[in-house]
Structure 1
Amino acid sequence: MKAVTKMSSQYLTPLVVQRADPYIYKHSDGYYYFTASVPAYNLIEIRRAKTLNGLANAAPRTVWRKHDSGEMSQLIWAPEIHFINNKWYIYFAAAETTAFDENGMFQHRMFCIECDNPDPMRQEEDWIERGQVKTGMDSFSLDATCFEQNGNLYYVWAQKDPAIKGNSNLYIAEMENPWTLKTKPVLISKPEFEWETNIFSVNEGPAVIHRNGKLFITYSASATDQNYCMGMLIADDQSDLLNSNSWTKQDKPVFESNLSVRQYGPGHNSFTIGEDNKTDILVYHCRDYTTIKGDPLYDPNRHTCVQPFTWNSDGLPNFGKPNPYNYK
């Protein structure tokens, strides 16, 4: 079954330039809401449009800015916008310094801001800080997402456990409210395969989609250069999601670089739905070159891309390969 449908040609690729870690949410008002890491890592912006292509030229609105000092003053990474119980929430990671800690890691922790205005783009003052989302482990953590299942709200994120080799693992917990965990973290994945440990041993950037009686968590692995790729975990939607044995990891990447069309390091994905409210859309960032000066994290040219994907007869997603650029 082919993963690329006729709909793929209708989307601009890249969709939004110089926006890494993209998250797109289609709300009940018919708008697509988009947020992502900005190259300066200094603020959180939202843009919206009635179509996915419309996001390309939609005016961004800044809704939060980094602090001058303290725990939310540096390296604002990977915001995600969610609508929970009639309020807007944005999860993001931030640090108090650009220096590494004793484990050679950045010093990010996870934070949450809230807006109860139906229009989350109205003004910055509508957003209030709910503070750090504490996991019980005081270590590098980032890339939080959340989802609801069987009446419960769950939080999934990446975090460093000093007792486990590597940079970050994936954890899940139930939430008491959108900024507080109710249960202890449960480890559901750590870097173990070769494709998860190229240059850096990384599991990060989880994204959740629910289809065919299953919950799928995609995630990104390895260094953020051309080695970056996506893996996937699967659980039955009626299983105990806080039992690590409920989750099965695929032993091969489900989405990776497409050298033939110069698409390198696809990852940090999210999911949305097409304008027809039927077609599933993969959202991710990608580069079109491999020669990077310095740390890849500071290279601004990870562009947001979107493309439709299909489902195989066994109920698993078929993401295909990254599409070539059709717009500059």
Structure 2
Amino acid sequence: METVNVLKPLIEQRADPHIYRHTDGYYYFTASVPQYDRIELRRAATLAGLVDAEKVDVWHKPDTGPYSELVWAPELHFNEGAWYVYFAAAPSREIKYKLFQHRMYAIRNTNANPLEGQWEFMGQIDTGIDTFCLDATTFTHKGQLYYLWAQKDVAIEGNSNLYIAPMKTPWQLGGAPVMLSKPEFDWEIRGFWVNEGPSVLKKNGKIFISYSASATDENYAMGLLWADENADLLDPAAWTKSPQPVLQTCFEHGVYGPGHNSFTVGEDGETLLVYHARTYTEIVGDPLWNPDRHTYVKPLKWDAQGMPVFGKPSLA
């Protein structure tokens, strides 16, 4: 981490950042671009190298149709021998739908380098619940691929809850969704009732799920779920939820609304937290179109019980 300044953004104007270190030794980066119109990838041999790495647009939204607006929160994963990008997009405003009716989709590339080769559109990932959904991630545990995402339940107050399901293929669910968390604590319902942006970390005999809550301004904060690695991950009772946020705005040092994180591995093997945040609160206009959510990276520390210590967003 000597070449990365953890007190400053690693990459500016990239929200919902996802950094993945592959077995080829490269770091791969994707995030929401300010225009929300495409999926952009970059790769580098080091984290610092991502800053000036070539940006490759691998997919552009169509002009009209069910996934032609607001491409949000892409994540790049290598599942079952191929590359997948999971993302959410909204319908065209021209076909009777309205915005914020996002559904989730996947694209696939079988090339060894996902910045090259052809990307195939795999279609919508249908959860069996026809409501607003987004922020999908995947992880494999004991040979089973899981899908983890945020979705609205019309019977539950709020904008989105967290769900998990097994996968039959990297683009199809293999079981019914199971709700793991819903907005309930005060810090989860500021501005909006939200649980979203889940990310998975396996360490110290546990499965951790971080997530983000509340409105995407300075109220945005991160929470944590965890389960024993030998538990049934599809059993909601197997999961414990922290009643307090694990990462939140640091007014003292001017880092606001940290959230929508991912985890990666440093060049020295340490676990790193990747997240976005703003450096000011006086947002002009709709926060959705404000481009100044920047990508940050910092070390994740651990306590004596093997639990992650997120600390403050402004400090290493």
What does residue 66 of structure 2 align with?
A: 71
CA contact (8 A) 1:227 1:257 kept: yes
- After TM superposition, the score normalised by the length of structure 2 is 0.96
Counterpart of 1:165, as a letter, is E
What does residue 286 of structure 2 align with?
A: 295
Distance 1:309 1:323, change over 3 A: same
What does residue 37 of structure 2 align with?
A: 42
1:106 corresponds to which of 92, 100, 110 = 100
Helix, strand or coil: the match of 1:112?
strand
1:264 corresponds to which of 256, 260, 273 = 256
Answer yes or no: is 1:28 the counterpart of 2:19.
no
Residues matched between the structures, number: 315
Per-residue deviation, residues 220-239 of structure 1 (Å, max 9, x unmatched): 00000000000000111111
1:217 corresponds to which of 202, 206, 209 = 209
Per-residue deviation, residues 79-126 of structure 1 (Å, max 9, x unmatched): 000001221000000011369x99x97100000000001011115xx1
Helix, strand or coil: the match of 2:252?
helix
Distance in 2 (alpha carbons) for counterparts of 1:282 and 1:98: 36
Counterpart of 2:195, as a letter, is N
Helix, strand or coil: the match of 1:184?
coil
CA contact (8 A) 1:143 1:205 kept: yes
Q: Structure 2, unaligned stretches of length 5 or more?
A: none
What does residue 120 of structure 1 align with?
A: 114
Distance 1:105 1:44, change over 3 A: closer
Per-residue deviation, residues 254-299 of structure 1 (Å, max 9, x unmatched): 00111111000000000000011x2100000000000112221110
CA contact (8 A) 1:98 1:107 kept: no
CA contact (8 A) 2:90 2:99 kept: no
How large is the Cα RMSD of the aligned pairs?
A: 1.8
1:88 corresponds to which of 83, 86, 93 = 83
Per-residue deviation, 1:13: 2.0
Per-residue deviation, 1:323: 2.1
Per-residue deviation, residues 13-64 of structure 1 (Å, max 9, x unmatched): 2011100000000011111000000000000010011111111111110000
Q: Which consecutive aligned stretches of 4+ in structure 1 deviate over 4 angstroms post-superposition?
A: 6-12
What does residue 62 of structure 1 align with?
A: 57
What does residue 286 of structure 1 align with?
A: 277
Distance in 2 (alpha carbons) for counterparts of 1:122 and 1:245: 43
Answer yes or no: is 1:313 the counterpart of 2:307.
no
Distance in 2 (alpha carbons) for counterparts of 1:85 and 1:9: 32
Q: Which has the higher contact order (CA 8 A, sep 6+)?
A: 1
Per-residue deviation, 1:157: 0.1
Distance in 2 (alpha carbons) for counterparts of 1:108 and 1:46: 22
Per-residue deviation, 1:128: 0.1
Distance in 2 (alpha carbons) for counterparts of 1:76 and 1:159: 16
Helix, strand or coil: the match of 2:237?
helix
Distance in 1 (alpha carbons) for counterparts of 2:263 and 2:156: 29
What does residue 147 of structure 2 align with?
A: 155
Distance in 1 (alpha carbons) for counterparts of 2:128 and 2:225: 24
Distance in 2 (alpha carbons) for counterparts of 1:145 and 1:12: 27
Counterpart of 1:153, as a letter, is L
Among all aligned residue pairs of Structure 1 and Structure 2, give the percentage whose two residues are the same amino acid: 56
Distance 1:253 1:11, change over 3 A: closer
